[in-house]
Amino acid sequence: MRKYKVAIVLFWTFIVSSIKLELKVEAQSLFSEEEIQAKLKLLNKPAVKTIKSEDGDIIDCINIYKQSAFDHPALKNHTIQRTPMFFQESQYLSTKYDSEANIKVFQTWQKRGSCPKGTIPLRRILKNDLMRAASLNRFGLKSPTLFLNSTNTYLNSINLNGSYAVVPQSRSGAHLAASGSSYIGTQANINVWNPKIELPNDFTTSQIWLKAPNGFDFESIEAGWMVNPEFYGNNDTRFFSYWTKDSYRSTGCFDLTCSGFVQTATNVALGATIKPISSTSGQQFEFNVGIFLDESGNWWLKVNNNIPIGYWPGELFETLKHSATLVQWGGEVFSPQVKISPHTGTQMGSGDFAEGGFGHACFIRNIRIKDYSLMLKYPESINAATQEPSCYNVLNDVQSGQDPTFYFGGPGRTPPNCP
Ligand SMILES: *[C@@H]1O[C@H](CO)[C@@H](O)[C@H](O)[C@H]1NC(C)=O
Ligand SMILES: *[C@@H]1O[C@H](CO)[C@@H](O)[C@H](O)[C@H]1NC(C)=O
Ligand SMILES: *[C@@H]1O[C@H](CO)[C@@H](O)[C@H](O)[C@H]1NC(C)=O
Ligand SMILES: *[C@@H]1O[C@H](CO)[C@@H](O)[C@H](O)[C@H]1NC(C)=O
């Protein structure tokens, strides 16, 4: 099996002064008012209708043709694609656990209304969101990866097939991974929790990834749920997407905070909060997320029972426009305080270790991949691994006659094992 090449993350040590609204002290920002207004103009678009969600989010329904996707140079003449026909096939439905497992997860803003036809819901970015950011240029981007070559020199790119032994920094992952084939899609049910964030710039995800090498970099498209207070302004669990074509260096972003992803759905907002949240020993909630390649090289994102959200046009990628070489399911904690002591207490998954099992640990199940056989199936070659087993761990529960369930996560700092 191809070894997953891990990445070393460059940690950005910019610190923004805290905002003390109650004292009416103007927050100190690294950026000028002009820079902030220019960035807001780029991120937000004129609203046809505005919906104020009870969770505090503002959802703007914007003209589908005015979305930022078309600001991308490769998409100047792009025409919006139709949803692929294969989504109408029953095998793409996520019915397997529907009655048992409560695929009733929905977005809070939907309670207050819906977006009209011909528009898409865009979560409005506020001035405060930008003032929390370490960099305006990198707003919405994960920290770039750094790689170590064999003479221990940090490089900012690497060949995915190279033979570098690298230890990732600033992020800790616990994954189930499939490789060794050409993948053209995956879907899975992700259990929904609200893990605790200890340090203000930490974030934690439960998600799926599709990756492929691009020269000395890798390309990745991703979706799932995330708790990321620095980016979103609170600790809510949110539905997110991500893409990059250069190992998180300069391309791509979360949600619709850069040009690239073409949204078609009127009813789901990327980055919006989702509910309900599962409770320990109580009711479990999950949602189905899928990413599939169409005949034209576009990767479609869908949720629950084949609700298409939109797609990443093939033009964004070099290798991924044909297929992915690595598919992953699991969680990641981003923090400067991972792999060193004191470890962050930011949780992954539910905050419980994998062996807690159903009702305790976060799970991903109903895992399927699609390759050129065009059948949706459980991957033949699969491998569960975690980077910090004492802090976050993994358990792929495979029992004969049953669909496997992948459990992952943990509490982070737990002395003496994870000091
Ligand atoms: C868009 O169309 C124009 C006119 O046909 C063409 O000159 C230009 O190269 C096209 N741009 C892209 C990115 O395809
Ligand atoms: C590691 O990277 C440095 C800087 O690019 C380079 O000088 C050195 O030759 C590289 N070593 C190997 C073994 O590739
Ligand atoms: C993989 O590595 C070999 C040599 O190590 C190199 O020749 C080849 O170009 C690499 N493949 C990619 C996609 O970069
Ligand atoms: C997020 O949760 C942490 C820990 O519970 C808390 O300290 C922090 O203030 C919360 N952040 C926001 C933005 O609510």
Per-residue pLDDT of the chain (419 residues; tens, 9 = 90+): 333 333 222 222 222 223 333 333 445 668 999 999 999 999 999 999 999 999 999 999 999 999 999 999 999 889 999 999 998 888 888 766 655 555 567 899 999 999 999 999 999 999 999 999 989 999 999 987 666 556 666 555 544 444 444 555 689 999 999 998 999 999 999 999 999 999 999 999 999 999 998 877 789 999 999 999 999 999 999 999 999 998 888 899 999 999 999 999 999 999 999 999 999 999 999 999 999 999 999 999 999 878 999 999 999 999 999 999 999 999 999 999 998 999 999 999 999 999 999 999 999 999 999 999 999 999 998 999 999 999 999 999 999 999 999 999 999 999 999 99
Residue 106 falls within a domain, yes or no? Answer: yes
Global pTM value: 0.87
Catalytic residue from among 33, 89, 100, 332: 332
Q: Are 60 and 162 in contact (CB under 8 A)?
A: no
CA of 213 relative to ligand 3 center, distance in Å: 10
Residue 415 falls within a domain, yes or no? Answer: no
Catalytic residue from among 219, 222, 286, 388: 222
Q: Are 140 and 254 in contact (CB under 8 A)?
A: yes
Closest protein CA for atom 5 of ligand 1? 77
- 286 included as an active-site residue: no
Residue 417 falls within a domain, yes or no? Answer: no
Instruction: Give the range of the structural domain holding residue 209, as residue numbers without chain letter.
Output: 2-409
Token reading at 373:
């056989």
**Sole residue written with tokens 């616990």:** 174
Q: Are 108 and 268 in contact (CB under 8 A)?
A: no
Torsion of CA 100, 101, 103, 107, to 10 degrees: 140
Residue 416 falls within a domain, yes or no? Answer: no
Token reading at 121:
């819901």
**Ligand lying nearest the CA atom of residue 200:** 4
Identity at 250, one-letter amino acid code: S
Torsion of CA 356, 360, 366, 368, to 10 degrees: -60
Ligand 2 mutation target, pool 8, 151, 216, most atoms within 8 A of CB: 151
CA of 77 relative to ligand 1 center, distance in Å: 6
Atom of ligand 2 nearest to the CA of 150: 13
Query: How many separate domains does the chain show?
Result: 1
Residue 312 falls within a domain, yes or no? Answer: yes
Binding-site residues, ligand 3, Cβ < 6 A: 159, 161, 213, 215
Residue 19 falls within a domain, yes or no? Answer: yes
* Of 13, 16, 12, residue with least CA distance to 30: 16
Ligand 4 mutation target, pool 199, 228, 230, 235, most atoms within 8 A of CB: 235
Residue 176 falls within a domain, yes or no? Answer: yes
DSSP state of 348: B
Whole-number Cα distances in Å, 62 to 51, 128, 135, 273, 375: 11, 22, 26, 19, 36
pLDDT at 3: 36
- 388 included as an active-site residue: no
DSSP state of 68: G
pLDDT at 15: 26
Q: What residues are paired with 363 via a beta bridge?
A: 407
**Ligand lying nearest the CA atom of residue 147:** 2
Residue 414 falls within a domain, yes or no? Answer: no
